[in-house]
């Protein structure tokens, strides 16, 4: 009997997003793949015009800091353009060793391991530590790289609804009879809404049930805490967290990621993690830039940058709220009793098309923001994800607020 084989490429043609994308392209309202024509900064050159950048993770603005650029150039001069091999064979240079030492010291952990990207750090840690007989418990808002690591591990997955600690407790109870090791994985700062996980409460529940805890600090490192060490520090929970993941691709002005934790676990990852062993090491320039950015964060300048970032986030948040936009607030309080403020200021629009239209109106008015649609957010929860940098000044933010003022009508139409 003849076999019926479907054309694998058919899904590329009939995918539900293809039609939407075509229509959006025709209307010129695609918010994605826009081309940056200059340096990343508070104002950027994008597709022929200068635009206030409210869509970047370059939170401290260090990508154009002369010291960071110099460190990247020095690293390239010394070690060449690329390492052309895996960390464990021929791709480790002294910058890796220094960076790992610096990060472990910053995080207050015994050791740290540097991966080529943060995505690979999550895949490498979760996919290696967990196996089919183990259980992983994740917040439904966790980053895609965590979920991909979970898929790679083949562990039993017990997800819980975003920030619902009662559901986390239920999952932890159920996991007790699963028979294997249990890992809870959460984002310290959730990437789209910018809300902060209640790490102390999650850690306490995990401990009660004998589970280990890993926190993704991609948006927390270089942003939160007096030392800039992330949400775990800001919430006074560093000692309760077993593994902390971070990336260099946001406030640390480079590319790459890390896992910090106990020496024996890090050493296990160093010899077992496939996303560490079977891929090329970062380019030297990326390592040089990351090391310098970490050092700036840890210097006396770090707290000043963080203060400016926080002040800018509050200014934008207040400005947008005063204009009547629906800004999602986090309301988390840190270990020092102050509100924990992240650079992410999300504006809820709701409808996907309306979000694209508001985005386009802002773009035309000289402001670039990110648009988050399902599945990055819940269905019907389309967001304009704005984010500030420490290097924005009031004039930049006022220009952006003026543009938002001009698109109020469109956003109100979305709110019905
Ligand atoms: C929460 C979170 N985790 C992990 C990553 C992956 O980091 P990287 O960009 O270094 O691959 C990102 C970046 O998008 C992120 O937002």
Place of tokens 């707290």: 303
282 and 220 housed in the same domain: yes
Do 274 and 356 reside in the same domain of the chain? no
- Is residue 350, in this structure, part of any structural domain at all? yes
Do residues 171 and 217 share a domain? Answer: yes
Note whether 216 and 93 are same-domain residues: yes
The predicted pLDDT at position 414 comes to 60
Residues 148, 271: one domain?
yes
Residue 49: strand pairing partners: 46
Report pLDDT for 338.
Answer: 86
Q: What are phi and psi of 137, to 5 degrees?
A: -115, 120
The verdict on 118 and 258 lying in the same domain is: yes
Judgement on whether residues 203 and 250 belong to the same structural domain of the protein: yes
Determine whether the shortest distance from the Cβ of 195 to ligand 1 is under 6 A: no
Give the end of a domain, one of 231, 266, 298: 298
> Reading across the β-sheet that carries 257-261, which strands appear in turn?
111-115, 257-261, 243-247, 212-216, 182-187, 135-139, 156-160
Domain containing residue 382: CATH number: 3.90.1150.10
> Is residue 6 included in any domain, yes or no?
no
Ligand 1 midpoint to CA 324 (Å): 31
Residue 361's CB is within 10 A of a number of other CB atoms, namely 19
| CATH (domain of 101) | 3.40.640.10
Indicate which atom in ligand 1 lies nearest the CA of residue 256: 10
What are the angstrom distances between the C-alpha of 341 and each of 206, 219, 230, 231, 308?
Answer: 25, 12, 12, 10, 11
* Phi, psi values for residue 389, rounded to 5°: -120, 160
In a domain, residue 8? The reply is no
Same domain, 76 and 54: no
Any ligand 1 atom below 6 A from CB of 117: yes
**Are 36 and 114 within one domain?**
no
Q: What are the backbone dihedrals phi and psi of residue 197, each rounded to the nearest 5 degrees, phi first? A: -70, 145
For tokens 């800004």, the residue is: 327
Q: Domains in the chain: how many in total? A: 2
Q: Please give the model's pTM, rounded to 2 decimal places.
A: 0.96
Looking at the domain assignment, is residue 135 inside a domain?
Answer: yes
Instruction: Please name which of 392, 384, 373, 300 lies closest in space to residue 344, comparing C-alpha atoms.
Output: 384
140 and 201 both lie in a single domain: yes
Whole-angstrom distance, CA of residue 341 vs CA of residue 316: 12
Q: Which of 145, 220, 346 to mutate to test the pocket of ligand 1 (most atoms within 8 A of CB)?
A: 145
- Write out the chain's pLDDT in tens, 416 residues: 567 898 999 988 888 777 778 888 888 888 999 999 999 999 999 999 999 999 999 999 999 999 999 999 999 999 999 999 999 999 999 999 999 999 999 999 999 999 999 999 999 999 999 999 999 999 999 999 999 999 999 999 999 999 999 999 999 999 999 999 999 999 999 998 899 999 999 999 999 999 999 999 999 999 999 999 999 999 999 999 999 999 999 999 999 999 999 999 999 999 999 999 999 999 999 999 999 999 999 999 999 999 999 999 999 999 999 999 999 887 788 888 888 999 999 999 999 989 999 999 999 999 999 999 888 888 899 999 999 999 999 999 999 999 999 998 887 766 65
The atom of ligand 1 lying closest to the CA of 248 is: 10
| Integer Cα distance of 113 and 277 in angstroms | 12
Domain check: are 28 and 129 in the same one?
no
Q: Which residues of 79-104 are buried (b: 16+ CB within 10 A; e: fewer)?
A: beeebeebbeeebbbebbeebbebbb
Specify whether 117 is located in the same domain as 148.
Answer: yes
Residue finishing a domain among 258, 283, 298 = 298
pLDDT at 2: 65
Give the end of a domain, one of 283, 298, 313. 298
- Answer yes or no: is the C-beta of 119 below 6 A from any ligand 1 atom: yes
Q: pLDDT at position 122, please?
A: 98
State the residue range of the domain holding 283: 64-298
Does any domain span residue 2?
A: no
* Distance between Cα 190 and ligand 1 center (Å): 11
Question: Is residue 49 situated within a structural domain?
Answer: yes
* Ligand 1 mutation target, pool 216, 247, 343, most atoms within 8 A of CB: 247
Compute the distance from residue 160 Cα to the ligand 1 centre, in Å: 21
Q: Does residue 5 fall inside a structural domain?
A: no
In a domain, 256, yes or no: yes
Q: What is the pLDDT of residue 415?
A: 60
């Amino acid at each position: 009997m003849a076999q019926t084989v479907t054309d694998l490429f058919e899904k590329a043609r009939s995918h539900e997003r293809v039609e939407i994308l075509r229509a959006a392209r025709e209307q010129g309202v695609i918010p994605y793949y826009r081309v940056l024509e200059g340096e990343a900064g508070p104002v950027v050159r994008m597709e022929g015009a200068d635009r206030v950048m409210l869509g970047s993770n370059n939170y401290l603005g260090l990508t154009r800091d002369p010291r960071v650029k110099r460190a990247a150039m020095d690293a390239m001069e010394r070690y060449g353009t690329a390492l052309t091999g895996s960390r464990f064979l021929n791709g480790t240079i002294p910058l890796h060793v220094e960076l790992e030492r610096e990060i472990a010291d910053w995080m207050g952990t015994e050791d740290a391991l540097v991966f080529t990207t943060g995505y690979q750090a999550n895949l490498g840690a979760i996919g290696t530590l967990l196996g089919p007989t183990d259980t992983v418990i994740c917040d439904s808002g966790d980053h895609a790289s965590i979920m991909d690591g979970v898929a790679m591990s083949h562990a039993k997955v017990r997800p819980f609804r975003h920030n619902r600690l009662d559901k986390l407790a239920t999952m932890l109870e159920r996991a007790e009879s699963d028979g294997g090791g249990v890992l809870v994985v959460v984002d310290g700062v959730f990437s789209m809404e910018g809300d902060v996980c209640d790490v102390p409460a999650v850690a306490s529940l995990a401990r009660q049930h004998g589970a280990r805890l890993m926190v993704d600090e991609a948006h927390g490192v270089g942003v939160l805490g007096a030392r800039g060490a992330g949400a775990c520090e800001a919430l006074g929970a560093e000692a309760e967290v077993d593994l902390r993941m971070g990336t260099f691709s946001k406030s640390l002005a480079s590319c790459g990621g890390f896992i910090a934790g106990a020496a024996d676990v890090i050493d296990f990852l160093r010899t077992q993690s496939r996303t560490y062993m079977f891929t090329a090491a970062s380019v030297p320039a990326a390592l040089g830039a990351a090391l310098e950015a970490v050092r700036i964060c840890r210097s006396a300048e770090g707290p000043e940058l963080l203060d400016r970032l926080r002040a800018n986030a509050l200014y934008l948040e207040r400005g947008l709220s005063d204009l009547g936009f629906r800004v999602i607030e986090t309301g988390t309080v840190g270990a020092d009793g102050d509100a924990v403020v992240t650079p992410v200021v999300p504006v809820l629009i709701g409808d996907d098309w309306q979000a694209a239209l508001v985005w386009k109106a802002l773009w035309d008015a000289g402001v670039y923001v990110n648009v988050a649609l399902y599945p990055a957010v819940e269905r019907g929860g389309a967001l304009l994800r704005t984010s500030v940098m420490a290097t924005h000044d009031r004039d930049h933010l006022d220009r952006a607020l003026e543009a938002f003022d001009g698109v109020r009508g469109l956003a109100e139409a979305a709110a019905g």
